[in-house]
Chain A
Amino acid sequence: ASEDTPVITAAGENNSSQIKCPQNEKIKFKDPLMTGLDKDSDDDGMESLDLEASNKSEEESVSRSSSLIANFRLDDDCDGETRDLFIVVDDPEKHTSTLEAYITFRVTTKTTRDEFEGSDFSVRRRYNDFLWIRHRLEEKYPTHLVPPLPEKHSLKRMDRFSTEFLKVRQTALQKFLTRVADHPVLSFDKCFQIFLTAKAWEFQAHKKQGSGFLTRVSESLNNMSASYMMKNRPPEFALMHDYITLLSDKLGVMDRIAQRVAKEQNDYMAELLEWGPCYTLWANAEDQLAGALLTMSKALDECVRTIKELIDATDNRFAQPVKEYLLYTECIKNVLRRRDAIQNEYDSVIEEISRKKDEKEMIKTSDQTYSIGAFLGKDPEDVKQQKHEKLEQQIADMIRQMEYFNDRTVVANADLKADMERWHKHKQRDLKEIFITLADMHIAYYEKNLAIWENTIRTIQNKEHIQLPSTASINENQDHGIV
C-alpha cells in the first residue's frame, strides 16, 4: 500500500476554500492477509482477523448502516453544506487480553467520495486509536483547528466500563469524527481516511509509522515564548485571543457551578430517600390514616426517581458538553499560540534582515585595521570587502527565508481565520442547544413531579375517576365512613 503524502503544500491558497483538494494517488486498502478480495466488497468477514475483537459479521453491520445514518439529525448539517461523508460511532464492546481490558467502538462510514474506494465501511476502533488520529492531524495541520477528544480518564466515573460512561464517550467520539468530516481540509487527510476504513492489521501497521514526537515537544516550547513576545499580533487575532481566554474562563465557571449543583442535588436526594420510609413507618401505627400515609411515601419515592433522572441527565447532556467546549477552547488557545510562533519566526527574520542591512551599511564606513583578518595579515580593505559580501549573502538568504515564512504566516492566518469563523457559528449553535437542553430537563423534571403530586391529591381525597392500578391497593385501606 502506498504511503499517504501530505496534502497541504506550502502554497496553500486552495485550502482556505471549501473546494475539495485534488488528489492524485489512489489509495488501495488491501489487507495483506485477505487475497483475492474484490475492492468493492471489503465488508465481509474482515473483522475476524482482529483476534481480539468480537465476531460480529460485517453483513449485519452494513445492513444496519443505513438505519444508523438515520440517527443523524438533519440540523447537524450546518452552513447548508451537502455532506458526502457520514460517520456513526456506536456499539461499545469490551475485550480482554492477557495484558489489559479495553473497549472498542464500531465506526461506520458512508460516503460518496471517490477517494474512498467504496461507499460503506465499518471498522472497530479504541480510544487510543482516536488519540492517534487526532495527534496526526494536529501534527500535519498545526494551524488548523482540530476538534478535541473527550478526556482519557474521567475523575468522577471510576468505572470506565459502565454503560453511562460508554454512552457519553461514544457520543463525544462521534462528534469528534463528524467535526473532522465536516472540515474542508482535515476530512481529506489520508490518515483520516485510513482511520475510517483500514482493517485491523493494516491500521496497526500504519500507526507505527511516522512519529513527529520530537517536533511536537520542541514546537510547544517555541510556542510558549512566542505568545509572550507577541508585539504586533494582527488585531483580529488579538481579539480572538482575548475572546477565547474570556470564554474559556466563563465555561470553566459554568462547569464548576454545574458540579456544585449536582452535589447539592445529590445531598437532597439522599435526604428524600430517608423521608419516604418515615411515612411508611407511621402508616404502621395507623388504621384510617394508613392510606394517606402510604400515598405520601410512594410519592416521595417517585420524587427520588425524578431527581436522580435530572442529576444524571444534567451531567450527560449539560455538564459533559460544557466541559467538552472548555477543551475546545484549550485547543484553540494552542492553535493561536502556534500561529503566534509562526508569525514570530517571520517577524524575527525581518528584524534580522534589518539588522544585517544596517551592519552592511556600517561596514562600508568601518575601519578594519584592528579586525582579526588584519591581524592574520589580510589587507583591511579586503577584510572589509569580504565581510560586506558575506553580509550580502546572508541578507539574500534571509530574504528567501523571509518569503517562505511570509507565505507560511499568510497560510496559517488564513487557515485559522476560516476555521475560527466556522467554529464561531458552530459554537453559537452548540451552546444554544446545550442550554436549551438544560432548560428542557428542568421542565421535564417539574412536569413529572407535578403529575406525582396531582396524583397524590386524587388518591388521598379519593376522588379519582380512573382507578390507577398502582394505587388500587392503597385505596382499599382508605377510610370509607368519613367525608
Chain B
Amino acid sequence: MADDGGLKPKPAETDPLSDDIKPIKNATALVSEAKRGKRVDKPKKAHLLQWMEITVTEPEKKTIASMKMQDTFVVYLIETRVTDENMQGYGEGATSVWRRYTEFELLRNYLDVTFPSVIVPPLPEKKASYAWQNVSMDRFDPDFIERRRAGLEIFLLRCAAHPRLCQDKIFMGFLHQEQGWRDTVNATDFYSKAESRLKALNAQFRLKNHDRRFEELKNYCTELQSNIGNILKIRARLCDKLYGIHKVHGNYARVFNEWSAIEKEIAEHLQSASHYMDVYSATIDAELEEEEQYADQLKEYYAFGDSVRAVCRRYECAQYDLEKAEEGLVNKSCQREALKLAIAESPVSEENNGQGKGGFSLSGVKTKLFGGDTPEQREIRLKQLDEQIVQAEAELKNVQVESQEFIEFALRDIDRFQRQKTKDLQEIFTNYAVMQIKQCKKGIAIWTSAKDCFSKM
C-alpha cells in the first residue's frame, strides 16, 4: 500500500464509510450534516468534516513581479475552524492561508499519486466549457472566478470528507501551512511514484486475467461522460434561446413607451406595463447565471469520470505487476527444474550433452561459450536459483497482498462513489427544479403586474 504520509488508516472494523455519504451541496449543509452524524456515538471521527469547518472565500487578484515578468493570478482564502471541542489536540483552532489554483492542482496530483486506489475528487475546470453566448471566456471574469471558488471549496470538502484522504499530512499542510508548503510537497518526491504512461498502456493490452468489474466500470465512465456531455451541449443552446426570448420582449417595452406618447388616458398604464417588460427582459441574466451552477455540478461528475477511470488504469497496472511477478516466479521455477533435470541427466561429462531438454537452452549456450559447468558450478547455480525462487515467492506474496488490498480499497471507494453520486445527482436535479420554480414564480409575478397595468387601461 502506498505511503499515506500520516496516520495509517485503521482497517475496516468500524466501517468508516457508513455515515459519510451525504449529498454535497454547499459548505454549511455539509457541516451541519456532519454534525448530525455525531448523534451516532463513535469514539473515532471518521473524517475531517465531522469536526472541522473549511471554507474557500474572498478570491483576490494578486500580481507579483517574479523573474522578468509580471504574474497576475487569483488567490483564494482557505479558512478552517475546529468545531468540536474534543478534538482540540488536532488542528490549530482557526487558521487561514491563501492559495492559488496551481497549488490546488499540485495538491490533487499529489493525492492522485499517493492514493492510487482512491477516486480523488476533481478540480473545477481550467477554462469555461460548453459556454453559451453570455459566458465569458476570460479567466478573470468575476462570474467565472466565483464559480471556480465554489468548485474549489467543494473539492476541499470532498477530500476532507474522505476517511483516508483527510488524514494525509500534505493535505493538512495545504489547509494550514502558511509557508513553504510547495517545498514540503515536492520533498516527498511523489512524482517518482507515478505510474508511467507506457506501463499503463502495456497493462491495458497485455493483461491475461482482467477483473470484469473494472472493465465494466471503464465503459460506464465513458457512457457517463457521453451522456453528461450531451446534456451540457444542449443546455448551452437552450440558454441562448431563452436569452433571446426574454431580450426580444424588451422590444415591447420600447414600443409601449412610444405608444404611450400618442395616447392620453392610457398613457401612464402603458408606461407601467413598459417597465414590467423591461424587468422581464432583465431578469434572465441573473437567472441564467444561477443556472450555471447546474452545469458546474454536472461538469464535476463529468470530471469524476476521469478520476474513476484513473483508478481502473491503476488496477490494470497492479494486475500487470502481479502477473509479471507470477510469470517471473514461474520462469525461475522452470529454470530450476531444467537445471535439476540437466544435473540428473549428465552428472559427470560436461562436454557431451551439456544441454538440457530442448534445442536451445541457456545452459547449453553457456556451455558452448564458456565451457560446461562443473558440477560444483551447477550446484552453486541451483542454490542461487533456489534463493531467487524463495525471494520471488516472497515478492509474489507481497504483490498479491498489495493487489488484494488495492482491489478491496478500490472497490470500496467505487461503491462509496456510486452511492454519493446517486445522492448528489438527485440533489442536483432537485436544485435544478428549484431554480425553475423560482423562474416560474418570477415570471408569474411580472406578468401579473403587467396584467394589472393592462386592466387599468
Contact = CB atoms under 8 A, between A and B. Distances in A.
Interface residues of A, number: 51
A454 B421 CA distance: 23
Nearest to B441: A450
A454 B434 CA distance: 8
Contact of A460 (B255, B262, B426): B426
B327 interface: no
B422 A278 contact: no
A482 interface: yes
Interface string A246-262: 11001001100100110
B262 A243 contact: yes
A293 B228 CA distance: 12
B334 interface: no
Contact of A435 (B234, B258, B273): B273
Contacts of B429: 292-293, 295-296, 456, 460
B37 interface: no
A264 B237 CA distance: 12
Contacts of A375: none
Residue of B266, B432, B440 with most partner-chain A CB within 10 A: B440
Contacts of B245: 261, 264-265, 268
Interface stretch (A56-64, A146-154, A329-337, A438-446): A438-446
B259 A281 contact: no
A282 B444 contact: no
Nearest to B249: A261
Interface stretch (A85-93, A161-169, A269-277): A269-277
A264 B440 contact: no
A128 interface: no
Contacts of A431: 457
A288 B422 contact: yes
Contacts of A94: none
B190 interface: no
A457 interface: yes
A479 B440 contact: no
Interface string A276-299: 001101100100110011011001
A447 interface: yes
A279 B436 CA distance: 17
A360 to B, nearest CB: 48
Given A432-B454, A460-B430, A289 B235 contact: no
Interface in B423-456: 423, 425-426, 429-430, 432-434, 436-437, 440-441, 443-444, 447-448, 450-451, 454-455
Contact of A257 (B237, B255, B447): B255
A482 B21 contact: yes
A257 B252 contact: yes
A271 B237 contact: yes
A381 interface: no
A294 to B, nearest CB: 11
B136 interface: no
Contact of A436 (B258, B266, B422, B451): B451
Contacts of B425: 289, 292
B248 A261 contact: yes
B251 A447 contact: no
A272 B454 contact: no
A453 B249 contact: no
Interface residues of B, number: 52
Contact of B450 (A243, A246, A439): A439
B146 interface: no
Interface stretch (B7-15, B83-91, B99-107, B219-227): B219-227
Interface in A452-476: 453-454, 456-457, 460-461
Given A443-B444, A456-B433, A289 B242 contact: no
Contacts of B455: 432, 436
Contact of A281 (B230, B265, B443, B450): B230
Nearest to B232: A278
A413 to B, nearest CB: 22
Contact of A268 (B238, B258, B436, B440): B238
Given A267-B244, A292-B425, A432-B457, A453 B440 contact: yes
A449 interface: yes
B231 interface: yes
B251 A257 contact: yes
Contacts of A98: none
A457 B231 CA distance: 19
Contacts of A440: 451
B448 A443 contact: yes
Given A275-B235, A450-B441, A285 B220 contact: yes
Contacts of B249: 257, 261
A-B interface, 5 closest residue pairs, ranked by CB to CB distance from nearest: A439-B451, A268-B241, A282-B227, A446-B443, A450-B440
Given A289-B422, A454-B437, 8 more contacts: A247-B262, A257-B255, A435-B273, A436-B455, A443-B451, A446-B441, A446-B443, A450-B440
15 contacts: A267-B244, A268-B241, A268-B245, A278-B227, A282-B224, A428-B266, A428-B457, A442-B443, A443-B444, A443-B448, A446-B444, A446-B447, A450-B437, A457-B433, A457-B434
